Amino acid sequence: MLSYTVYSEAGGVGKSSLTANLAAAHARAGLDVLIVPLDPQDGDLSRLLGVDDERADHEADNLVRHMVGSPRGSFDDLIQSAEGIDVIPEHNLLSDLSDFLTREKQQAEKLGDAYNIYAQLQRVLQEGGIAEQYDVLICDPPATESDHLYNAIYATRNLVIPVEPSAKGEASVDGLQQLATNFADQMGIEVGVLAAVPNGFKGTNDQAELLEEISFPTPEVIGDRTSLMEGCWKQQCSAFTYQREHRDYPRDHELETLAQFDRLARYLEEQRGIEAPNPPEPGAIEDEVTA
């Protein structure tokens, strides 16, 4: 299984959009994809994919309940589908995740048991048989250093880093490298960076220079696609669906961006030796998303 966390220390670099579109690109090539978004705030990935109906429902079973060992239903029932992608939707309880995990840890320690608060997402996904059911797992944690982030990294062991091509973006990559190194050392795990994805590139010399500084592979550099991404959020869909169903005529520069998502997905699959069964021509939108 290919598993990765899409993470950037800086907010607003298109992290959730990149996650949704990579997931769509994996899925339309015939792979089984699960996304686990973990953002405690509204305006998140579940919203983008239109599966956030129960986010504020206190009665609803949710991932946090499963992570702290108080599920209200079966794990399988948490999973919803959109555009052929499976998602475990976010819930408002995610804002209290750290408190719940700390309480569980204290409880375990009172009983003399070891408890790793960063390993709970991995435990839930493993017990849920995710590796048997899916080819690709993508986590989308909030853009802050948090227990959400560490649970995501512990569960996926790999990172894809969207980068704003600016001095601020470069600093955030450096900060992330330090943060992930410390965490990996502390946990005794290995964390890999599959790719950095410069996003919102406008082609200035300054930006081009900054790209040179990135020490990770940058298989694709994605241009400024504000209009496309805003359209996706408005229609609650991936860029592939937006282009197919909501654009009155195809815009060449946007089709090229879709092709980049496809190529990036193939690149990431290759890193883990996975071959998609039906990869479309990059950027082709006449193909329906594989159910």
**Contact positions toward other proteins, by CB under 8 A?**
1, 3, 30, 32, 71, 73-76, 119, 122-123, 125-133, 135, 154-158, 177, 180-181, 184-185, 188-194, 215-217, 271-275, 277
Give whichever of 29 and 232 is closer to other proteins, judged by the CB atom: 29
List beta partners, residue 3. 137
Give whichever of 23 and 239 is closer to other proteins, judged by the CB atom: 23
| Closest CB 101 distance from other proteins, rounded Å | 17
d(CA 289, CA 34): 15
C-alpha distances (whole Å) from 141 to each of 22, 210, 228, 265 are 15, 25, 23, 19
| Closest CB 156 distance from other proteins, rounded Å | 7
Give whichever of 183 and 233 is closer to other proteins, judged by the CB atom: 183
| Closest CB 226 distance from other proteins, rounded Å | 30
| Closest CB 144 distance from other proteins, rounded Å | 19
| Closest CB 193 distance from other proteins, rounded Å | 5
Please calculate the CA angle 255-16-202 and round it to the nearest 5 degrees.
Answer: 50
4 half-sphere exposure, CB direction, 13 A CA radius: 27
Is residue 265 within 8 A of residue 224, CB to CB? The reply is: no
Give whichever of 232 and 276 is closer to other proteins, judged by the CB atom: 276
Selection from 162, 156, 89, 85 nearest residue 126 by Cα: 156
Give whichever of 125 and 259 is closer to other proteins, judged by the CB atom: 125
d(CA 32, CA 290): 9
Give whichever of 132 and 286 is closer to other proteins, judged by the CB atom: 132
| Closest CB 25 distance from other proteins, rounded Å | 18
Task: Give the three-state DSSP class for 284.
Answer: coil
Tokens matching residue 270: 């290759």
| Closest CB 139 distance from other proteins, rounded Å | 11
Give whichever of 206 and 213 is closer to other proteins, judged by the CB atom: 213
Give whichever of 71 and 231 is closer to other proteins, judged by the CB atom: 71
Q: Are strands 136-140 and 33-37 parallel, antiparallel or unpaired?
A: parallel
Is residue 80 within 8 A of residue 51, CB to CB? The reply is: yes
d(CA 151, CA 139): 9
Q: In what order do the strands lie in the sheet with 136-140?
A: 80-82, 85-87, 33-37, 136-140, 2-6, 158-163
| Closest CB 232 distance from other proteins, rounded Å | 26
93 secondary structure, DSSP code = G
Tokens matching residue 67: 């992570």
